[in-house]
Each structure stands twice: as C-alpha cells, then as structure tokens.
C-alpha cells in the first residue's frame, strides 16, 4: 500500500514539474522532451490505476508517435519561439488573473463536491466483468458491442482526417518523374529502339 | 373550374411581370391575353353551371391563419353573385386586354402594362370569390394597388402621379371604414366567415356594439362602416373626387377599372352583405340617400365638362349612384343587373372614346373635336349604341336595368324611395342630355381640330375594334336576355342574396303604374332632343344659357367645389400640421432621438470592432473570461445562498 | 441487451456509404469528376431526405441508448439536409470559378452533414462529442479549402484552434457532469439530476463549460469572436454552408441538451442563455454597423440572429421552442438567398466582397437588386416578409412567458440592425452605378435564389402548415 502511495506521489510530482517545464523552457526542443517525460509519468499513473492498456496506449501513441512528430516539427521548422512569446507576454498578467480565478473556483467546486447518490450505480454497469478478464479484453468487449456506434463514428472522423490531410497538403508538382509500371510494361522495342547499320571505319 | 377562372390571370401576371423582358412585348401580350381569355371562357361555363343550374359552393384552397379561435382560409366562394361578377370581370377584362394590344402599341412598357392589367384582374377575382372578410380585404387592397399602379402608369406625367396618389389617399379613407367594419364584424360574430355571419345575422338583429363610449345598433354600425368602404371604392358622393382624376391613366384602364369592375366592388360588397343589411334598415336609408344624391350631382357635373373621358367618368359615378339606391331599397338583383349591363355599355363608351382619342392624336378636349363622324364611322356607330344603352332607350341593355331600378325605388313607397326615384328621373334626363352632347360635340359640327390632326384621323385597327363589337353585343343584348334571370319572378339568386318578405321591391316593381314605367323613356327622349337643340340646331345656345345662369354653371363646372373644399379643409391643414411636426421632429426628436442614437450606435460599433483584433489568443482569452465570468456569477449566487 | 436496430440510422448510413463510394470515384477520375461527384452528393442528400421522411417519426432510442430519433430531431434533420442541399448546389459552379474545384469538396460537405445528423441524434455525451467532432473537422478543412489563399488558410487555422479550445471546454464540462452523475447517458443524467433536491456546484460548473462549448458552435457572443474572421476568410461557398447548416444543428443540439439531460437545471441555464442571447443581439446589432465587408456583415448578422433565436430557448416553453425552430427555418432560407447573390458578385471572374461593390446594382441587374432588397427587409424583420414572422413568434413567446425585458431589448436590437440592412438597400438603389457584374449566373444559384425569395415573400400566405410542423417538433420536448 505504501509503495503504491509513494509511486503515485512520485509520478504525480514529476508530471506536474515537467508540465510546468514544458511551458517555461526556453529551448523548444527541451519543451518537447519534458512533454515526453510528462507522458511517461501519466502512463505510470494509469498503471497504478490498473488501466494497463491505456498506459500502453499512452506510451505507444503519444510518446512513440505524437511527441516524436512534435520533435521533428520543432527541430526542422525555423520558428523563433522567442518572438512568438514576446507577443503573448503582454497578456500574461490577464492570463494569470484569469488562471487564478479559475483555480480558486475549481478549489471551491472541489470543496463543495459531492456525488449523486446514483452515481456509483450509474457508473458500475460496464465494469461488472472485470474480475476474470484482462483490461484489454474488457475494453474490446464493450468497444465492439455497446460502443460499436461510436467506434464507427471514430472511423468516419479518421476518414475525414485523411481526406483533410491530403486536401490541404498534397500538391501535384510539375517536373516530378514517377515510375509508371504500366507504361514500362507496355513499351515495345520498336517504339524505342532503332537499329542502325554502322559501316566499319566510317564513324557513326 | 373556378381555379381556371382565378389563377390564369395570376400566372399571366407573374410571367409577364417577371419575365417581361425575355418574353418580349408580343410574348407578354400573348400570355396575358390568353390568361384572361381562358378565365373568361371558364367563367362563362361556370355561370351556366351555377347560375342556371344549381347552387353555390365553396372551394377550400388552403388554411391561411389559424390563431386560437380565429381561423381564416383561402377559399373560393362560387355562388350566383360571385359568378356574375366573375363573368363581368373576365369578359370586360379580356376585351380590354385585347384592345390594349392596339391602344398601347406606341408605348414602351407594354409588358408592364399588360401584367398590371392581369394583376388587377386576379385581385378583383379574389375580391369577388372571397368567402371571408379578410380575403375580401386582400382583394380589395389588391385592386386598389393595381388601380394606383395603372393610374400612375405614365409616371413621367406629373398629373398622373398626383392622380394616382389622390386615388390612393381617398380610397384609404374608405378602406379605413372597411377595416373598422371588419373588426366590428369579428367583434360581434367572433368570425369573419361569410357563412357564419349570414347565418347568425337574424339572431344578432337586436344586439348592440359600443363604439367610442356610445351604444350603437350593431348591424347598422357594421352596415355603415362597410358602406364607407364601398363609398371609397365606388366613388360615392363625398369620396368621389378621385374618380375623375383617375382618368389620367390610359383609357383601357379607365374602361376596365374605373367603369366596369373595380368601382362596382362597393355595389358587390353591399349585395354580398344583403343578409346583414336587411336587418339594418337605417343603414339602407343612408345607402339610398347617398346613392340618389350621387346620381344627381354627378349628372349635373357631367353636363358642363369638356374632357371626353371626364364626361364619361361622371356618368359612371352617376350610374353607380343608381346602383346604390337600388341596393338601398333592397332591390339587390336590380343593382347587380345594372352593374352587369353598365359594365358592358360603359366599357364600350370608354373604349370608343379611347378609339376617338387614338384617332385624334391623343386629344381629349371635345372643344377641339367635331365633324369626324364620317372619318371613323365604325367607332361612331358603336358610340351611338353605347349612348343609347346608357340613356336607357328601349331594347338596349340600359333600358331594362335602369327601369327596374327606378320602378323598385318607386315601389318602395317610402320617403327615401320616392326621393331616389325623382333624383333618378332628373339624372336620367341629364344623362341623355350629356350623352348626346358628347356625341354631337365629338362627331358633328365643324371640325375644330388643327389641319394636321385632321389629316391623321383614321379608323382604329381591328384589334381595337374587335373588343368593341363584343362589348356592343353585350350592350345591346344583355338587358333583354338576362332580365328574367336577374330580376324576373323566378330570379336565379336563391340564397346568394337575401331579401326580407317586407322589402321585396323587385316583385313590387312589376306592378307599378304605367306612367312610372314609361317616364324614363320620355325623359330620355327629351334629353336627346334638348341636346340636339343646343349643339346642332342652335350652336349659340349653350353660351347664352351659360351666361344666363352663370353662378349655377360655375358651381357645376367646378364640380360643386368639392376639390377646393377638401383642399381647404384637409389638404392644407394637414400640410400645416405636417410642417409643424416636421419642425418639431427636426429640432427636438431627431437631435436627441435618431441622430443621437445613431451617433451612439456608431461609437458602440467602433468599440466592438476594436475587440476584433484578429489574434487567436485574444479570442481565446475572451472565451475563457466569459466562462469564468459565468462561473463567478454562480459562485456569487451560491455564496449568497449560504 | 444491445439494440442493433439500424433503421433510424438509414439516412446517415446511406450518406456515409455514398461518401466513400464517391471518394473512390474521385480518386479514380481526378478533379474532372468534381461536377459528377457534387451533383451525385446533392442527389444523395435528397434521397436521404426522402428516406428520412419515410421513417417512423415516433420516439426511438437505439444502439444501447446512443442514438435517438423523434419528431424534433426529424424536423431538425430535414432542415440540415435542406441546408446542405442548398449550400452544396450553390457551391458547384463557384468552386470551379474560384479554381478550387476538387472532388474532395462535396465529400467533405457530405461528411460534415453526416456529423451534424449524428450530433443532433445523440443521446449520449460520447455520441454527441463524436458527431460534433466529425462535423467540426470537416468544416475546419473546408474553411481552409482554398489553399493558395492566405486568408482561407488563416480562417481554417483560427477556426481549428478556437474550435479545439471549445471542444476542450465541452469535454471538461462533460467530465464534470460524469464525475457527479456517473453517467454520460442523457436519460440517466436527466434522471439522476432530476432526483436531487439541491444543485451541487460542480454540476453547474460543468453546465457552464458544456454550454460554452455549444455557444461557440452557434457563434453566440461572447464565444463569437471567430465568426467574422472565419466568414470573411473562408471561400464564400463554405461561408454559406457555415452560416446555414451547422447553426441549425448546433442550436437543435443545444435545445436537446437543455431540455433532456439538463431539464432540471432550468433555473441555472436560463441565466446563462439569457446573458448569451442578450449579448449576441447587442453585438450582432452594433458591431455590424462598422463593417464594410459584406461577408463580415453577414457574420455579425448571423450572431444577432442567433441571439434572437436564443430568446426562444430561454423562455422554456413549447411556444418558444417552436418559434426557434421556425426562426431557424426562415433564417436558413433567407441566408441561402443572400449567399446566392453574394456569390454572383463577380467582375471578370473575381469575387467582390465590399458593400460598396453593390453600389447601383438596381440599374445593372435589377433582379438581383430587388431580390437582395427583399431578403434584407426580411432579415431586418420588416413585415410582410418571412423574417418578420420569425421574430414575431419569438417575441410573442417571450412576452407570454413574461420575459419582457428580453423582448423589448430584442425589438430594440432589431431596430438597430435594420440600419445596416437598409444601408445595403440604399447602396444598391441610390448610389451611382459602377460596372456591371459578370452576367452569367448558374442555374442552380438562380433556383436557390428564387426559392428563397418566394419563400420569404409567400410565407405570409400559408404560415399554418409550417408553423404546425414546427409546433409538432417542439411538442415532443414537453410531453415528457
């Protein structure tokens, strides 16, 4: 029990710290690296909660794909973050005030928090079969049955994302040579070859 | 079938108005003419169906307004009354449409003109087929609009614009009465459906309505208010000043709107409400007296005018007076009969006058005409037919209808009936006189026009004469053929018109003394003879007479000073009042009201657009602040609750 | 246990299949197929509409409580489909003219439409969010569709960033609601919240965030800031779509949220919507005065219109809701007509967007000028145009429910807004004429304009039929 608590505070502490560093780090590459650290720590928190599948997703998707993409973009694009920050800095006071107000209200809400009497019963239903089967299997069971509808919409969203990415970035550039296999196959010797008789000692 | 009557003109209007340019003049003329001709044929079929054969019915088109207990439908009420009106409207309208093809041949905006005519026809048909007051009001305003547009059709002419505005404003007074009548009806019956109103009218005979703090006999009040509406549209004495001025419009318009159809809407309205008027005897007396006075006064003015169209306009007004006093003595059938025959011969006279004007290179003053009867013989002959019918000479249409009106007035055996009868006789004398004065001055005597005009005189083209022949046929035969159906012993009206047993003057009219029956003819002949005396045998006589009775002539020539009176009483004072308001408005209201408000608005606008900087983070910040503001508001409220 | 009845989803499924099929056609044949794909999409939308009309319109909840269909939803979906058909048929020629005639355009419009259809049918927070994202994502791409225009790209980015923020708010709100009730199902949330005798603050917190997210979608002030920039930057055909369809979907969804899961929070959300409605009317009325770009002006005009529509939501009565639905119908058709005209404002194939470009239009093309005048009068709410009746019903409902202040301010705001609508008429009819526009107006655009103008003019003749169907739609929210 004590190990779990210790682990929680460790992960949570590092998570908050690295989150703070993401915003404040001067070097954008450092920011991204801190972001990756934050992802790892939140994955650890998920493991503590017994949600090992989501923890894995965290590592594979966010760390493996998203953060690496970020890193590439940040390293390859020449953006002066310092200039960007300059414009935004003038709003920091207001931002701080807004943040402070929001924080105090959140604390207020937390202080006055209560659960609806039915909430446990409401939330309980899908988790009934957790005892015997693994986390992943349990998710799979509901994902393809109860949540099949939403799953399909998610498919549509990805479909749109694909179309959108192509529409917004794909350009047909003139002068790019591509291999056209069908043309290569359809080529006949007589189209491209010319047999010339070369008389010796006269030159071409 | 009734759909085929009402909607072709609407479709024709839309096509010609919206696509006039692409259809071209020819196309627009073809579309509109065929629209009304289809309507005319259908309405004749409908006439035989409904009037001769069976009973009326109502076709529901669509619900219009449903609000609480109040519901109004778009519906076409087809009964004997509306069918007669439909026939008159569509036949005259067809004639006028075809005639206009010729008459307006030199005009630039033919498509617009034709489309307005079709619009008018549609609105008028909506008016007569209405089965509730609101739809009637819709048609009523629709014809008013079309009339306004057509009077002011030559909008480059200042006088035409002024006349159009005058017609509109004067009609507004009448429409106000009609609208009040509509409200009063709804207040009394809780419905504006004709069927309901007419069924319940007998039970309401003794009820009262309070109005301006006084209690009035409800049906009388409604009857009078509706009659004010009718007076405006039908140019009865008091609200008549617009009609002569309306002659500024093209002549076919005068024939269609200001002679045959729209001005008879008032007559139709009262006839339609016969089940109500029968229980409002006081209102009927008012109708009679106003009608009789109009018939007389208009005829006296007609004696002195020189503009050919104005003479006919005053004669129209006078004839409308006849119709109204016929209504007043409960001879609704006779009024409708005269409405129908009058439509034919008056349209004929107008179109004939148009033909003359056309021939005389747009000259309307009779003093500049004369001696042209052998140059345009067909028009001349047709004008004779029209005049004979108007004067009520035997066997022409007017003879039957005018006589039955006078007889019915006599047979009413009341002081107002008697009054109307004698006024009518006097008007008949004058009618005959000024009709032949018109004929003689226009066609006979020495030519008074310039050489150039005289050399141009030509008979109108067939497209203009054709409709005249149709109308002339009506003017000759309509009275004789339809006498039995309209005012005979077994008239066709059934439940379309309701007459109480005691008021049945038409039946009584068949049994009046012999002299009453023959007096109008005699009077008419005297009138013609007098006209011959004045304008053919002794051409000096008119001037001498005028000198002898100078004050009377001045009174008549200036149309009883109605215009001047109104000008002094209403127009000038409202101008003054308007100027006063305008000054106050400018100095006080504008400075602190609109101008001030507009200035403030602009400032607020500038302030708001400063927020719109284009920076995303600023937008995001505004959103966050808004959310937090809302939450803080609830925190604040919850805090108060603790 | 799991109800796999897919019949109420038939229109959506059909559209999704068509979209995928058309994508294959497009990929195979390239951008020459744009016209075919576009008209086929319009056709498919029409078929979906017919299929929808053939469905059973009584209440159905299927797919383990995720998807709901009833009279209100059906009415909304009809509006969405009509709007999409209108917007898409307006676009076909326009995207060609603007040199962005790519076959993905109609497919993205189809996907956005599917998203909206799914979103208004959601009966679960998750389904709501997914539908919302499907439509938003499609719309972000559409906003940036004109790649070689910086303005268009800027519009896309702005819309995307702020849209993501609003989605975040929405999700945060949903998580708070879930945290309290333990459920994301509308019915369960409604039951749980309905049983409470006090209203915990956390729920109100969540409500504010959810409503902020929704207010962003209908561009109600103060969550409207993106609207003018995006409307101006996006290609006009996309702006037409933005102005017409997502508004209807979002406001219907908002109404469903307020009356179904949050029905027992009426006292709280009335305050929020009251504030949002009031501010939207003010911003819509005043900020538009300073505009000289007509697309920006339309943006502020739409903000104002949403303000009026929200009055009907605030009053929380059946009359109010039916007035809103009617208002949305009228707004949709008026907007379609206005954009049909805006798209025709071209000289030498270059689109014009300034109000001063309308100057003297009545002399060059009177038909356009008169149509525009009719539509502007209707937008300003001048009788006897349809817009007047829309406002009339809204204000009537407000007065009946004793929201006098809101009604009075609404009338005042519409007086102020009449200023800039009338200014357009003044510019068209009284200012000196400049060069005429390109004469050719495509057939589809003419048809849309004609329908819009006829609707606006003829609404007075037959309101009962339309009013009755809006009332029928609103009634289901109140029968309990």
Interface predicted TM-score (ipTM) = 0.92
**CB contacts, 8 Å: A173 with chain C:** none
Contact C314, C277 (CB under 8 A): yes
Residues in Cβ contact with C19 at an 8 Å cutoff, skipping those fewer than 6 apart: C41, C107, C110, C111, C114
Chain segment B55-86, per-residue pLDDT in tens? 778 888 877 777 666 778 888 888 888 888 99
pLDDT at C163: 94
Chain A nearest CA to B636, separation (Å)? 11
Best probe of the B interface among C265, C290, C393, C463, by most B CBs < 10 A, is C290
User: Which residue in the set B615, B618, B628 is minimally distant from A98, CB to CB?
Assistant: B628
Chains that touch B (3 or more CB pairs under 8 A): A, C
Chain C nearest CA to A103, separation (Å)? 12
Best probe of the B interface among C166, C176, C222, C400, by most B CBs < 10 A, is C222
More confident residue, A37 or C64: A37
Band the pLDDT of A124: cuts 50, 70, 90. Answer: low
Lowest mean pLDDT among A86-100, B520-534, B586-600, C281-295: B586-600
Q: Say if residue B392 is exposed, middle or buried (CB neighbours under 10 Å; 0-12, 13-18, 19+).
A: buried
Nearest to B521 by CA among B413, B396, B436, B434: B396
**CB contacts, 8 Å: B609 with chain C:** 287, 290-291
User: Which residue in the set C137, C144, C185 is minimally distant from A157, CB to CB?
Assistant: C137
Instruction: Establish if C181 touches chain A: CB-CB under 8 angstroms.
Output: yes
Question: Hey, which residues does B210 pair with through a beta bridge?
Answer: B215
Measure the CA–CA gap between B403 and B77, rounded to whole angstroms: 30
Measure the CA–CA gap between B281 and B551, rounded to whole angstroms: 38
Q: Which helix (H) or strand (E) holds B102?
A: helix B80-103
pLDDT at A150: 93
pLDDT at B576: 83
Instruction: Establish if A91 touches chain B: CB-CB under 8 angstroms.
Output: yes
Contact B351, B471 (CB under 8 A): yes
C200 and A112 within 8 Å at the Cβ level: the answer is: yes
B604 and C286 within 8 Å at the Cβ level: the answer is: yes
B156 φ, ψ to 5°?
-80, -15
Contact C138, C109 (CB under 8 A): yes
Share of chain B above pLDDT 90, in %: 19
A94 and B621 within 8 Å at the Cβ level: the answer is: yes
Best probe of the C interface among B605, B610, B635, by most C CBs < 10 A, is B605
Q: Which residues of chain C have pLDDT under 70?
A: 1-3, 462-463, 480
Which residue's structure tokens are 């967007």?
C353
Instruction: Establish if A100 touches chain B: CB-CB under 8 angstroms.
Output: no
Chain segment B78-134, per-residue pLDDT in tens? 888 888 899 999 999 999 999 998 888 888 888 888 999 999 999 999 999 988 888
pLDDT at C462: 65
Over 90: is that where the pLDDT of B636 sits? no
Angle between helix axes C404-430 and C366-380 (nearest 10 degrees) is: 170
Pairing type for strands B214-217 and B208-211 reads: antiparallel
Pairing type for strands C350-351 and C346-347 reads: antiparallel
> Two tokens at C99?
């040199």
Chain A nearest CA to B609, separation (Å)? 19
pLDDT at B496: 80
C-alpha dihedral sign at A96, A102, A106, A108? positive
Q: Say if residue C431 is exposed, middle or buried (CB neighbours under 10 Å; 0-12, 13-18, 19+).
A: middle
Which residue's structure tokens are 């003819």?
B521
pLDDT at C3: 66
Quote the strand ranges of B17-84, DSSP E. 57-67, 70-78
Give the CA distances from residue B109 to residues B103, B106, B116, C394, in Å, rounded to whole numbers and listed in that order: 12, 9, 11, 43
User: Which residue in the set A115, A121, A156 is minimally distant from C111, CB to CB?
Assistant: A156
Instruction: Establish if C138 touches chain A: CB-CB under 8 angstroms.
Output: yes
Instruction: Establish if A167 touches chain C: CB-CB under 8 angstroms.
Output: yes
For residue C70, the tally of other CB atoms under 10 A from its CB is: 20
Q: Which long-range contacts (CB under 8 A, 24 or more apart) does B463-466 make?
A: B463/B98, B463/B99, B463/B101, B463/B102, B464/B99, B464/B102, B464/B103, B464/B351, B464/B354, B464/B355, B464/B358, B465/B355, B465/B378, B465/B379, B465/B382, B466/B98, B466/B99
Give the CA distances from residue B256 to residues B2, B96, B108, B343, C144, in Å, rounded to whole numbers and listed in that order: 21, 6, 21, 9, 61
Chain segment B422-478, per-residue pLDDT in tens? 999 999 999 999 999 998 888 888 888 788 888 888 888 888 888 999 999 988 888
A105 and B631 within 8 Å at the Cβ level: the answer is: yes
Nearest to C121 by CA among C280, C15, C192: C15
pLDDT at C376: 94
Band the pLDDT of B286: cuts 50, 70, 90. Answer: very high
Contact B356, B487 (CB under 8 A): no
Vertex C402 angle, CA C399 and C407, to 5°:
45
pLDDT at A202: 75
Residues in Cβ contact with A163 at an 8 Å cutoff, skipping those fewer than 6 apart: C23, C104, C107, C108, C111, C141
C-alpha dihedral sign at C188, C191, C196, C202? positive
Measure the CA–CA gap between B227 and B178, rounded to whole angstroms: 8
Q: What is the DSSP string of C42-108?
A: HHHHHHHHHHHHHS--S-EEETTTTEEE-HHHHHHHHHHHHHHHHHHHHHHHHHHHTT---THHHHH
Chain C nearest CA to A200, separation (Å)? 53
Lowest mean pLDDT among A56-60, B392-396, C392-396: B392-396
Alpha helices in B329-414 (DSSP H): 332-359, 377-391, 397-411
Chain segment B312-352, per-residue pLDDT in tens? 999 999 999 999 989 999 889 899 999 999 999 999 999 99
The arithmetic mean of pLDDT across residues B470-496, rounded, is: 85
Over 80: is that where the pLDDT of A91 sits? no
Please state whether B458 falls in left (phi above 0), alpha (psi between -120 and 50) or beta.
Answer: beta
pLDDT at C372: 93
List, in order of start, the domains of chain A with CATH numbers: 1-78 (1.20.120.1200), 126-169 (no CATH)
Residues in Cβ contact with C232 at an 8 Å cutoff, skipping those fewer than 6 apart: C151, C155, C239, C293, C295, C296, C299, C353
pLDDT at B159: 85
B633 and C271 within 8 Å at the Cβ level: the answer is: yes
pLDDT at A193: 84
Question: Hey, which residues does B215 pair with through a beta bridge?
Answer: B210
Measure the CA–CA gap between C352 and C467, rounded to whole angstroms: 37
Peptide bond into A52 cis (omega under 30): no
Instruction: Establish if C294 touches chain B: CB-CB under 8 angstroms.
Output: no
**CB contacts, 8 Å: B635 with chain A:** 105, 108
pLDDT at B642: 43
pLDDT at B291: 92
Q: What are the residue boundaries of the structural domains of chain C, listed by start?
A: 7-478
Instruction: Establish if A153 touches chain C: CB-CB under 8 angstroms.
Output: yes
More confident residue, C305 or B184: C305
- Which three-class secondary structure state does DSSP give residue C455? helix
With b for 16 or more beta-carbon neighbours within 10 A and e for fewer, the B527-564 pattern comes to: bbebbbebbeeeeeeeeeeeeeeeeebeebeebeebee
With b for 16 or more beta-carbon neighbours within 10 A and e for fewer, the B330-348 pattern comes to: bbbbbbbbbbbbbbbbbbb
Measure the CA–CA gap between B480 and B483, rounded to whole angstroms: 6
> Two tokens at B74?
């778009």
Measure the CA–CA gap between B264 and B287, rounded to whole angstroms: 14
**CB contacts, 8 Å: A147 with chain C:** 66, 126
The arithmetic mean of pLDDT across residues B278-306, rounded, is: 90
Contact B336, B279 (CB under 8 A): no
> Two tokens at B604?
């607020």
Chain A nearest CA to C281, separation (Å)? 26
Nearest to C253 by CA among C140, C161, C125: C125
The arithmetic mean of pLDDT across residues B491-517, rounded, is: 82
Over 80: is that where the pLDDT of A203 sits? no
Nearest to B301 by CA among B602, B629, B11, B562: B562
């Amino acid at each position: 029990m004590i190990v779990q608590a210790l682990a929680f505070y460790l992960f949570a502490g590092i998570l908050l710290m690295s989150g703070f560093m993401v915003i404040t780090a001067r070097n954008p590459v450092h920011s991204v690296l801190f972001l990756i650290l934050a992802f790892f720590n939140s994955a650890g928190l998920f493991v503590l909660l017994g949600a090992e599948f989501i923890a894995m997703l965290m590592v594979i998707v966010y760390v493996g794909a998203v953060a690496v993409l970020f890193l590439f973009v940040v390293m390859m694009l020449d953006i002066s973050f310092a200039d960007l920050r300059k414009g935004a800095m003038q709003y920091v006071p207001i931002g701080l005030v807004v943040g402070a107000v929001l924080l105090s209200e959140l604390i207020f809400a937390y202080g006055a928090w209560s659960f609806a009497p039915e909430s446990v019963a409401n939330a309980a239903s899908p988790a009934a079969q957790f005892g015997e089967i693994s986390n992943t299997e349990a998710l799979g069971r509901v994902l393809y049955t109860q949540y099949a509808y939403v799953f399909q919409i998610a498919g549509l969203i990805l479909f749109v994302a694909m179309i959108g990415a192509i529409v917004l970035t794909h350009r047909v550039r003139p002068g790019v040579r591509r291999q056209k296999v069908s043309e290569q196959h359809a080529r006949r010797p007589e189209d491209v070859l010319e047999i010339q008789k070369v008389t010796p000692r006269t030159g071409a | 079938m009734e759909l085929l009557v009402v909607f072709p003109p609407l479709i024709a209007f839309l096509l010609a108005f919206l696509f006039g340019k692409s259809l071209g003049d020819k196309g627009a003329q073809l579309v509109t003419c065929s629209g009304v001709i289809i309507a005319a044929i259908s309405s004749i079929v409908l006439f035989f169906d409904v009037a001769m054969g069976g009973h009326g019915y109502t076709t529901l088109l669509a619900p219009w307004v449903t609000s609480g207990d109040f519901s109004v439908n778009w519906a076409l009420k087809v009964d004997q009354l509306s069918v007669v009106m439909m026939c008159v409207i569509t036949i005259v309208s067809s004639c006028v449409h075809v005639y206009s093809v010729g008459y307006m041949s030199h005009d630039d905006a033919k498509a617009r003109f034709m489309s307005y005519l079709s619009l008018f026809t549609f609105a008028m048909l909506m008016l007569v087929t209405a089965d509730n007051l609101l739809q009637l009001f819709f048609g009523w305003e629709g014809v008013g609009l079309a009339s306004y547009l057509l009077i002011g059709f030559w909008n480059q002419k200042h006088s035409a614009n002024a006349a159009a505005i005058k017609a509109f404003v004067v009609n507004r007074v009448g429409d106000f009465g009609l609208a009040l009548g509509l409200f009063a009806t709804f207040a009394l019956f809780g419905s504006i459906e004709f069927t309901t109103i007419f069924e319940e009218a007998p039970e309401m005979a003794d009820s009262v309505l309070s109005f301006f703090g006084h209690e009035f006999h409800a049906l009388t009040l409604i009857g009078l208010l509706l009659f004010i509406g009718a007076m405006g549209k039908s140019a009865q004495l008091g609200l008549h000043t617009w009609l002569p001025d309306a002659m500024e419009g093209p002549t076919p318009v005068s024939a269609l709107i200001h002679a045959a159809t729209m001005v008879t809407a008032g007559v139709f309205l009262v006839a339609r409400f016969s089940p109500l008027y029968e229980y409002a005897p006081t209102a009927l007396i008012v109708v009679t007296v106003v009608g009789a006075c109009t018939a007389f006064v208009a005829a006296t003015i007609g004696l002195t005018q020189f503009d050919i169209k104005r003479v006919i306009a005053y004669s129209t007004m006078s004839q409308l007076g006849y119709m109204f006093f016929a209504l007043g003595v409960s001879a609704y059938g006779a009024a409708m009969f005269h409405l129908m025959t009058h439509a034919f011969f008056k349209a004929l006279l107008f179109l004939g006058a148009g033909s003359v004007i056309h021939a005389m290179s747009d000259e309307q003053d009779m003093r500049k005409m004369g001696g042209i009867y052998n140059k345009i013989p067909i028009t001349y002959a047709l004008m004779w037919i029209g005049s004979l019918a108007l004067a009520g000479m035997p066997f022409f249409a007017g003879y039957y209808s005018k006589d039955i009106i006078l007889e019915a007035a006599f047979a009413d055996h009341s002081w107002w009936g008697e009054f109307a009868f004698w006024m009518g006789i006097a008007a008949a004398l004058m009618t005959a006189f000024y009709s032949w004065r018109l004929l003689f001055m226009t066609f006979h005597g020495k030519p008074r026009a310039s050489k150039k005009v005289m050399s141009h005189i030509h008979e109108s083209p067939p497209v203009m004469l054709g409709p005249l022949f149709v109308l002339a046929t009506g003017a000759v035969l309509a009275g004789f053929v339809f006498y039995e159906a309209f005012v005979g012993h077994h008239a066709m009206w059934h439940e379309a018109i309701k007459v109480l047993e005691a008021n049945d003057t038409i039946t009584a009219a068949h049994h009046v003394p012999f002299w009453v029956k023959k007096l109008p003819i005699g009077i008419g002949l005297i009138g013609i003879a007098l006209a011959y005396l004045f304008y053919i045998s002794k051409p000096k006589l008119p001037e001498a007479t005028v000198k002898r009775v100078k004050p009377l002539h001045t009174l008549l020539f200036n149309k009883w000073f109605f215009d001047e009176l109104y000008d002094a009483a209403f127009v000038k004072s409202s101008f003054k009042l308007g100027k006063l308001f305008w000054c106050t408005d400018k100095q006080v209201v504008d400075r602190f009201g609109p101008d001030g408000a507009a200035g403030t608005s602009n400032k607020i606008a500038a302030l708001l657009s400063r927020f719109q900087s284009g920076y995303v983070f600023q937008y995001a910040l505004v959103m966050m602040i808004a959310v937090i503001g809302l939450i803080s508001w609830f925190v604040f409220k919850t805090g108060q609750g603790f | 246990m799991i109800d796999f009845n897919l019949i109420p989803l038939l229109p959506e499924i059909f559209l999704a299949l068509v979209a995928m099929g058309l994508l294959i056609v497009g990929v195979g044949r390239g951008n020459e197929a744009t016209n075919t794909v576009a008209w086929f999409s319009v056709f498919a939308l029409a078929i979906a509409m017919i299929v929808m009309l053939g469905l059973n319109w009584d209440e159905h909840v299927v797919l383990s409580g995720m998807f709901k269909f009833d009279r209100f939803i059906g009415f909304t979906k009809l509006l969405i489909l009509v709007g999409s058909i209108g917007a898409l048929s307006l676009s076909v020629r326009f995207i060609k003219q603007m040199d962005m005639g790519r076959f993905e355009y109609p497919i993205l419009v189809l996907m956005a439409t599917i998203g909206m259809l799914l979103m208004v049918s959601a009966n679960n927070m998750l389904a709501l969010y997914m539908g919302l994202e499907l439509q938003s994502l499609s719309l972000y791409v559409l906003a940036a569709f004109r790649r070689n225009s910086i303005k268009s790209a800027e519009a896309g980015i702005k819309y995307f960033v702020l849209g993501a923020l609003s989605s975040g708010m929405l999700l945060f709100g949903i998580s708070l609601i879930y945290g309290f009730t333990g459920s994301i199902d509308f019915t369960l949330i409604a039951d749980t919240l309905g049983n409470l005798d006090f209203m915990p603050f956390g729920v109100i917190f969540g409500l504010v965030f959810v409503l902020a997210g929704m207010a962003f979608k209908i561009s109600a002030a103060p969550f409207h800031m993106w609207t003018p920039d995006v409307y101006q930057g996006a290609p006009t055909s996309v702006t037409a779509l933005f102005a017409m369809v997502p508004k209807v979907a979002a406001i219907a969804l908002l109404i469903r949220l307020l009356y179904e899961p949050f029905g027992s929070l009426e006292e709280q959300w009335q305050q929020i919507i009251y504030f949002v409605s009031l501010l939207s009317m003010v911003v819509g009325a005043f900020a538009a005065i300073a505009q000289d770009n007509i697309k920006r002006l339309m943006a502020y005009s739409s903000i104002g219109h949403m303000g009026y529509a929200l009055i009907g939501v605030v009053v929380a009565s059946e009359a109010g809701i039916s007035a809103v639905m009617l208002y949305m119908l009228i707004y949709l058709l008026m907007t379609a007509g206005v954009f049909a005209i805006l798209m025709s404002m071209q000289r030498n194939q270059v689109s014009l967007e300034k109000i001063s470009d309308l100057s003297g239009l009545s002399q060059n093309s009177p038909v356009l000028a008169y149509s525009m005048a009719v539509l502007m009068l209707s937008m300003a709410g001048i009788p006897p145009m349809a817009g007047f009746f829309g406002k009339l019903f809204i204000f009537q409902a407000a007065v009946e429910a004793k929201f006098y202040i809101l009604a009075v301010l609404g009338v005042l705001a519409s007086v102020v807004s009449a200023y800039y609508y009338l200014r357009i008429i003044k510019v068209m009819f009284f200012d000196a004429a400049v060069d005429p526009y390109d004469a050719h107006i495509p057939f589809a655009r003419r048809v849309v304009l004609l329908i819009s103008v006829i609707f606006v003019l003829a609404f007075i003749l037959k309101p009962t039929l339309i009013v009755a169907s809006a009332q029928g739609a609103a009634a289901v929210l109140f029968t309990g």
